[in-house]
């Protein structure tokens, strides 16, 4: 499996100015929808899921959110990415009462759980890699983000 | 050698497909290293009620309001990486009980 099979430049927005997480959801959802990865119902699925089970992750430095929803809203698996010009407040997955200021959002569109085990494992390794997150945050444009992930992937194999 | 009863672990997250998948793989890997055989049922938090009876304990990545009388362990550290070893140790100890 190659991580870059799931990251596409047309699904990546860098330096996004958003006032709240809902705005981020809409931007990334529209990318996924326009490019044929998800159904219209995906956005509502994301919103509902986030309200009941928030996906903000408190990490060592830059915090990340991994919004996702049920597979029935998904046509093809992919991960849409937004880097934010200023952090947006999410709730913490560990504690829905707690706010987390998020810099990078990975919106995960999964159409089956078990076939995407490796992708999920690799994504979790990525979000635990503070240097990688820092590089992604500095990237200008989807092309650069894909390149960073490509070189990370090559490094990992060695 | 006294063999332990094979434990059943309920692994749950909000959608039952993302973080619980990663947690399941990490538990299986850690259990294998210790030569422990386990059953894992992966589900949504909202489905715990229907599976809890069959489980020895519950592992989730979110806060659990009701664990239906079972011990529950929060495994979010397996996602963030912060405190990962300690949580895996706790899970292994629970399997060995």
CA distance B82 to chain A (A): 7
Q: Which is it for strands A63-65 and A78-91: parallel, antiparallel or unpaired?
A: unpaired
Check residue A114 and give its pLDDT.
Answer: 59
Helix (H, G, I), strand (E, B) or coil at A81: strand
Q: Are strands A78-91 and B7-13 parallel, antiparallel or unpaired?
A: unpaired
Q: Nearest Cβ partner of B81 from A52, A110, A128? A: A128
Name the residue among B22, B25, B63 with its Cβ closest to that of A96. B63
**Domain of residue A151, residue span:** 3-157
> How does residue A129 score in pLDDT terms, banded at 50, 70 and 90?
very high
- Name the domain count of chain A: 1
Q: For A62-84, what is each residue's pLDDT tens digit?
A: 999 999 999 999 999 999 999 99
pLDDT tens-digit series, residues A81-126 = 999 999 999 999 989 999 999 999 999 999 875 568 888 999 999 9
Residue A15 maps to which CATH number? Answer: 3.40.930.10
Query: How far is CA B85 from each of CA A49, A142, A152, B26, B60, rounded to the nearest angstrom?
Result: 29, 35, 24, 11, 16
Architecture of domain B7-96: 3-Layer(aba) Sandwich (3.40)
Chain A residues inside the 8 Å CB shell of B85:
none
- What residue spans define the domains of chain B? 7-96
Mean pLDDT of chain A: 93
**Residue B79 contacts residue B23 (beta carbons within 8 Å):** yes
- Separation of CA B90 from chain center: 10
- Spans of chain B, pLDDT less than 50: 1
Interchain CB contact of A120 with B (< 8 Å): yes
* Rounded average pLDDT over A20-47: 98
Q: What is the DSSP letter of A35?
A: T
Judged by CB atoms closer than 8 Å, whether chains meet at A53 and B13 is answered as yes
Interface confidence (ipTM) of the complex:
0.89
Q: What is the pLDDT of residue B2?
A: 53
Tokens of A150: 């490509």
- Residue A21 is predicted with a pLDDT of 98
Per-residue model confidence as pLDDT tens digits over B54-73: 999 999 999 888 999 999 99
Q: Do A117 and B21 touch (CB under 8 A)?
A: yes
> If DSSP codes are grouped into helix, strand and coil, which group holds residue B76?
coil
Q: pTM for this structure? A: 0.93
């Amino acid at each position: 499996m190659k991580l870059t099979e799931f990251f596409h430049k047309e699904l990546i927005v860098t330096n996004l100015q958003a006032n709240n997480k809902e705005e981020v959801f809409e931007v990334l959802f529209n990318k996924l929808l326009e490019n044929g990865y998800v159904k219209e119902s995906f956005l509502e699925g994301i919103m509902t899921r986030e309200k009941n089970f928030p996906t903000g992750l408190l990490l060592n430095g830059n915090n990340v959110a991994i919004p996702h929803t049920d597979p029935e809203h998904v046509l093809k698996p992919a991960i849409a990415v937004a880097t934010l010009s200023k952090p947006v407040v999410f709730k913490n997955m560990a504690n829905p009462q707690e706010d987390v200021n998020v810099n990078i959002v990975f919106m995960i569109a999964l159409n089956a759980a078990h076939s995407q085990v490796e992708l999920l494992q690799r994504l979790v390794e990525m979000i635990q890699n503070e240097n990688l997150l820092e590089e992604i945050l500095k990237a200008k444009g989807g092309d650069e983000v894909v390149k960073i992930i490509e070189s990370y992937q090559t490094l990992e194999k060695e | 050698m006294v063999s332990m009863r094979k434990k059943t672990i309920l692994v749950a997250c909000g959608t039952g497909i993302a973080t619980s998948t990663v947690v399941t793989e990490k538990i299986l890997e850690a259990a294998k290293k210790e030569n422990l055989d386990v059953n894992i049922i992966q589900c949504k938090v909202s489905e715990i009620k229907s599976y809890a009876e069959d489980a020895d304990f519950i592992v989730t990545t979110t806060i659990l309001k009701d664990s239906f009388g079972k011990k529950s362990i929060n495994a979010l550290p397996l996602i963030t990486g912060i405190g990962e070893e300690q949580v895996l140790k706790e899970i292994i100890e629970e399997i060995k009980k």
